[in-house]
């Protein structure tokens, strides 16, 4: 047998913690509050629309940058919410989920030895993809207790090799959000540089307690150097359909599309048409803060009396719990123990950190039916 030397481009990369924990949940017949996806269906009207589009013949390749009607709707929404007009023809590209947007944007800009500033805890995709492109991740810790940005640390880490800064707000896994002061700091730091920004805003509509999402598109200066990325999966309870999008100025979009055309070329046609129609009713995304805030509050109300400590999350559908009064196990061991013994699956925080630091924090996803949240909290209270 020939032994092929693959010479891995992804050495040291393990199976994503989301896949690992979902499998553990299934193997242990546990409640899966780990991987971030709703356990309920998208709205019936949206299901009907997809059905209708399939039966109306929208079943062949979409245009490479995406269905025009959908790009129009995104352009309108972004203008209304964040005040920036992106040209639907030349500045908006539909992708196979934010995952493909992120991968495409990173591979579009990163060459060997380019440095990339990444804030940790960081979504698991950023660092491996930067490394696969030959780039050098430069991790900076968000500061406890609220996972806030230390812009002085950023200034110190910026060098003449810094090509890219990746920000993520609302933030997975901590729920922290970029403030207007953060946007101002980012403007100041990147002014008169060639630094590009990727802004991962997939939870843009899931933000609580009356706060507003500060999109990088709302800053003229930052929008001129940013790929702003979002996903319909989070907004319309349809993570399995894998449709997202990237906003960027024309020149950056041109480069992005050169890569995009060889990654997927085009994205699911009937779903794009259905989203375009569905977006006409803004109530769906405008109601999300209230919808998910009541789920957060239900979960936390039912956690009263538990030994876990927590501060209500500001955004996303994730809540962090501190288990330091319960166990000395590291967070991975704790999650394995919890799924086996108490039949609840959660996500440990250390996989979001290149240092693998153990904050004794776990992440619970509350995009679940109310009875599942009540039962999940009951099990967690018993620990
Ligand atoms: N970025 C973040 C921060 C996420 O949490 C996720 C997935 N939940 C993605 C990107 C990927 O989104 P998609 O499922 O649309 O690929
Ligand atoms: N983003 C989701 C989460 O944080 C998972 C997406 C995935 O499984 N890759 O749980």
What is the phi-psi region of residue 121: left when phi exceeds 0, alpha when psi lies from -120 to 50, beta otherwise?
beta
What sign has the CA pseudo-torsion 332, 337, 338, 339?
A: positive
**Cβ–ligand 2 contact at 36 (below 6 Å):** yes
Atom of ligand 2 nearest to the CA of 18: 8
Quickly state the pLDDT bin for 356 (edges 50, 70, 90): confident
**Cβ–ligand 1 contact at 36 (below 6 Å):** yes
Burial of 18 (0-12, 13-18, 19+ CB in 10 A): middle
* 209-253 pLDDT tens trace: 999 999 999 999 999 999 999 999 999 999 999 999 999 999 999
- Say if pTM beats, i.e. exceeds, 0.85: yes
Q: In this structure, how many other beta carbons lie within 10 angstroms of the beta carbon of residue 12?
A: 8
Q: What is the percent of the chain with per-residue pLDDT over 70, rounded to a whole number?
A: 100
Helix (H, G, I), strand (E, B) or coil at 126: helix
* 127-172 pLDDT tens trace: 999 999 999 999 999 999 999 999 999 999 999 999 999 999 999 9
Rounded to an integer, what distance in angstroms lies between the CA atom of residue 220 and that of residue 84?
Answer: 7
Report, as an integer, the average pLDDT of 253-262: 98
Nearest Cα residue to atom 1 of ligand 2 = 36
Atom of ligand 2 nearest to the CA of 125: 9
Quickly state the pLDDT bin for 6 (edges 50, 70, 90): confident
**Cβ–ligand 2 contact at 172 (below 6 Å):** yes
71 Cβ partners below 8 Å, 6+ apart? 65, 88, 89, 92, 94, 245
Ligand 1 mutation pick, 102, 124, 178, 231, max ligand atoms within 8 A of CB:
231
Phi, psi of 372 (to 5 degrees): -70, -40
Quickly state the pLDDT bin for 178 (edges 50, 70, 90): very high
Atom of ligand 1 nearest to the CA of 96: 16
Q: What is the 3-class SS of 16-58, one letter each residue?
A: CHHHHHHHHHHHCCCEECCCCCCCCCCCHHHHHHHHHHHHCCC
Q: What is the pLDDT of residue 318?
A: 98
Q: To 10 degrees, the CA torsion angle through 359, 336, 128, 221? A: -50
Q: What is the pLDDT of residue 2?
A: 78
Contact indicator for 118, 128 with CB cutoff of 8 Å? no
Q: What is the pLDDT of residue 57?
A: 98
Distance 161 CA to ligand 2 centre (A): 30
Quickly state the pLDDT bin for 194 (edges 50, 70, 90): very high
H-only helix segments in 38-173: 44-55, 68-82, 97-109, 126-132, 151-157
Helix (H, G, I), strand (E, B) or coil at 79: helix
**Cβ–ligand 1 contact at 123 (below 6 Å):** yes
Q: Average pLDDT over the chain, rounded to whole?
A: 97
* 309-343 pLDDT tens trace: 999 999 999 999 999 999 999 999 999 999 999 99
Quickly state the pLDDT bin for 67 (edges 50, 70, 90): very high
257 Cβ partners below 8 Å, 6+ apart? 64, 65, 93
Q: Dig out the tokens for 194 from the structure.
A: 């060639």
Quickly state the pLDDT bin for 357 (edges 50, 70, 90): confident
Q: What is the pLDDT of residue 270?
A: 98
Asked whether residue 10 carries a pLDDT value surpassing 90, the answer given is no
Distance 19 CA to ligand 2 centre (A): 8
Q: What is the pLDDT of residue 7?
A: 83
Q: Give yes or no for a cis peptide into 222 (omega within 30° of 0).
A: no
134 Cβ partners below 8 Å, 6+ apart? 110, 111, 112, 113, 114
């Amino acid at each position: 047998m020939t032994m092929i030397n693959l010479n891995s481009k992804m050495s040291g990369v393990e199976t994503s913690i989301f896949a690992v924990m979902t499998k553990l949940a299934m193997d242990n017949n546990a409640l899966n509050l780990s991987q971030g996806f709703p356990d309920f269906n998208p709205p019936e009207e949206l299901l009907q629309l997809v059905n209708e589009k399939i039966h109306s013949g929208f079943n062949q390749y979409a245009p490479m940058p995406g269905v025009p009607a959908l790009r129009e709707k995104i352009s309108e929404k972004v203008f209304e919410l964040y005040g920036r007009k992106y040209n639907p023809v030349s500045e908006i590209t539909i992708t196979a989920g934010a995952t493909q947007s992120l991968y495409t944007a990173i591979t579009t800009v990163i060459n060997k030895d380019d440095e990339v500033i990444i804030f940790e805890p960081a979504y698991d995709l950023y660092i491996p993809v930067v490394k696969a492109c030959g780039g050098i991740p430069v991790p900076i810790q968000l500061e406890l207790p609220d996972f806030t940005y230390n812009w002085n640390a950023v200034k110190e880490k910026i060098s003449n090799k810094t090509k890219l800064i990746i920000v993520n707000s609302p933030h997975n896994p901590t729920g922290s959000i970029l403030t207007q002061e953060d946007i101002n700091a980012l403007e100041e730091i990147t002014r008169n540089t060639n630094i590009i920004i990727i802004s991962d805003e997939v939870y843009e509509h899931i933000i609580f307690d009356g706060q507003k999402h500060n999109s990088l598109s709302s800053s003229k200066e930052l929008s001129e150097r940013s790929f702003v990325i979002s996903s319909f999966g989070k907004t319309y309870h349809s993570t399995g359909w894998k449709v997202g999008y990237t906003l960027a100025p024309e020149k950056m979009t041109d480069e992005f599309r050169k890569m995009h055309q060889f990654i997927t070329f085009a994205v699911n046609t009937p779903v794009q048409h259905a989203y375009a129609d569905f977006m006409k009713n803004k109530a769906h995304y405008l109601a999300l803060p209230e919808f998910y805030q009541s789920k957060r509050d239900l979960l936390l109300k039912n956690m009263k009396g538990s030994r876990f400590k927590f501060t209500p999350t500001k955004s996303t559908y994730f809540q962090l719990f501190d288990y330091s009064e319960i166990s000395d196990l590291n967070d991975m061991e704790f999650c394995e123990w919890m799924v086996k013994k108490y039949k609840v699956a959660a996500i440990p925080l250390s996989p979001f950190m290149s240092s693998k630091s153990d904050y004794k924090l776990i992440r619970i996803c509350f995009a679940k039916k109310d009875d599942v949240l009540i039962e999940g909290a009951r099990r967690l209270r018993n620990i």
